[in-house]
Amino acid sequence: MRKGIANLPLHRGRAPRWLFSRMVKLARAMAEAMLEEFPPEEFLRRLSHPGWFQALGCVLGFDWHSSGLTTTTTAALKEALAEISTPLIMAAGGKGATARRTPEEVESLAERFAFDPQPIIRASRITAKVDSVLLQDGYSIYHHTIFFTPDKKWAVIQQGMKEELRLARRYHYLSWEAEDLTREPHTGISSMRRENLVLDLTSRKSAENTELVVQLSRENPGKITREFTRILNMPRRHALVSSDMKPKNLLRAMAKTYERAPEDLLQLLTIKGIGAKFVRALSLVADIVYGAPPSYEDPALYSFAHGGKDRIPYPVDFEVYEKTIEVLERAIKSSKLGDRDKLKALRRLSREFSPGA
């Protein structure tokens, strides 16, 4: 598993149209170049790598260290991929309300290109819930994008914010490296800092605790509610205990899980209305009553090519930006015509930008 750290302070505003339109053009050229040279799975694999994604955002010319790099780069990629005639990779989701429309977007693409949307929709929903329910780090998820192929391979990039500190945190997934979405599924988590206290139920160190969480979810609701009430009356030892987890709310949620009797953590997550507070309450009971503590450890490389919208580290160079797009597009056309080796066509980039070119 790869884990990296990158500074992601929250920035207000959005990418100006003059920059975003160029980001889309360059993203399309880069995507076409990669899909000419590599299979779609390689593109997904790179998107799932926090360092590579950070570098991509910098090459496209957005802020090298801000939260906006995530939202704007994924938006540019989504638009660029939609413009490519052959749908080797598609994208759905985005920021805020757009993220909530992800299932509808996937279904629309599935109808257009004739593939089964349900595996992609399921992956989208589960990954969103993992980073809000199983990994409780204080960052609220507000951005979610899934990139996928028609044959059910996918990569997810989502971001959470800690508004009071003006910090963001980015979470990456890759389908074939996350066979169990409830057990250390991330390919990387980028954050400006490691938090002192995080409830990480995806950690292997939490395995015994989560097994008990599932068992407890099938128990008689009254019994678990009494246990939790008794724990709340004990001296406080867990900062993650929420005072607004009222026994009656726990009883209501327990009634749902008791009826559904989930067999594993994944099934528990799919029950409507089961959220972070409920799972945290059962985790606490498993810890205090049954002696199975969870992990409270926080599971938390870039380059710049064209400048940034805030003139950091320097202003966007329009001439160089346009030439990058032009050279990439020309290389792609040459490779498609078959009049030269594809790799040699792309390697012309270095000669175009060498001194005296």
Question: Pick the residue with more confidence: 353 or 202?
Answer: 202
For residue 281, pLDDT over 70 is answered with: yes
Interatomic CA distance for residues 198 and 298, integer angstroms: 5
pLDDT confidence band for 282 (50 / 70 / 90): very high
**In the prediction, which pLDDT does 185 show?**
96
Interatomic CA distance for residues 105 and 98, integer angstroms: 9
pLDDT confidence band for 307 (50 / 70 / 90): very low
**In the prediction, which pLDDT does 175 show?**
97
Q: Cα-atom radius of gyration of the chain, to the nearest Å?
A: 23
Q: Rounded mean pLDDT of the chain?
A: 81
Interatomic CA distance for residues 147 and 45, integer angstroms: 11
**In the prediction, which pLDDT does 143 show?**
95
Domain boundaries defined on the chain = 17-195, 204-288, 318-352
Interatomic CA distance for residues 94 and 89, integer angstroms: 16
Q: What angle do CA 185, 189, 194 make, to 5 degrees?
A: 120
Interatomic CA distance for residues 134 and 276, integer angstroms: 7
Of 202-206, 296-300, 318-322, least confident by mean pLDDT is 318-322
For the stretch 8-49, pLDDT in tens is 455 555 667 777 888 899 999 989 988 988 899 999 999 998
pLDDT confidence band for 347 (50 / 70 / 90): low
What residues contact 269, with CB distance under 8 A and at least 6 apart? 126, 129, 130, 133, 134, 182
DSSP SS3 for 4: coil
What residues does 186 pair with on adjacent strands?
Answer: 173
Interatomic CA distance for residues 26 and 10, integer angstroms: 25
pLDDT confidence band for 224 (50 / 70 / 90): confident
pLDDT confidence band for 225 (50 / 70 / 90): confident
Sole residue written with tokens 């001296």: 235
Question: In this structure, which long-range contacts are made by residues 237-240, counting pairs with CB atoms below 8 Å and at least 24 apart in sequence?
Answer: 238/284, 238/287, 239/197, 240/136, 240/197, 240/199, 240/280, 240/284, 240/296
**In the prediction, which pLDDT does 167 show?**
81
**In the prediction, which pLDDT does 7 show?**
47
Element (H, E) at 117: none
What residues does 162 pair with on adjacent strands?
Answer: 167
**In the prediction, which pLDDT does 239 show?**
45
pLDDT confidence band for 234 (50 / 70 / 90): low
Interatomic CA distance for residues 243 and 232, integer angstroms: 8
Interatomic CA distance for residues 204 and 185, integer angstroms: 11
In the chain, what percentage of residues exceed pLDDT 70? Answer: 73
Q: Which of 98-112, 276-290, 313-327 has the highest mean pLDDT?
A: 98-112
Residue 302, amino acid: Y
Of 24-38, 75-89, 124-138, 304-318, least confident by mean pLDDT is 304-318
pLDDT confidence band for 67 (50 / 70 / 90): low
For residue 235, pLDDT over 50 is answered with: no
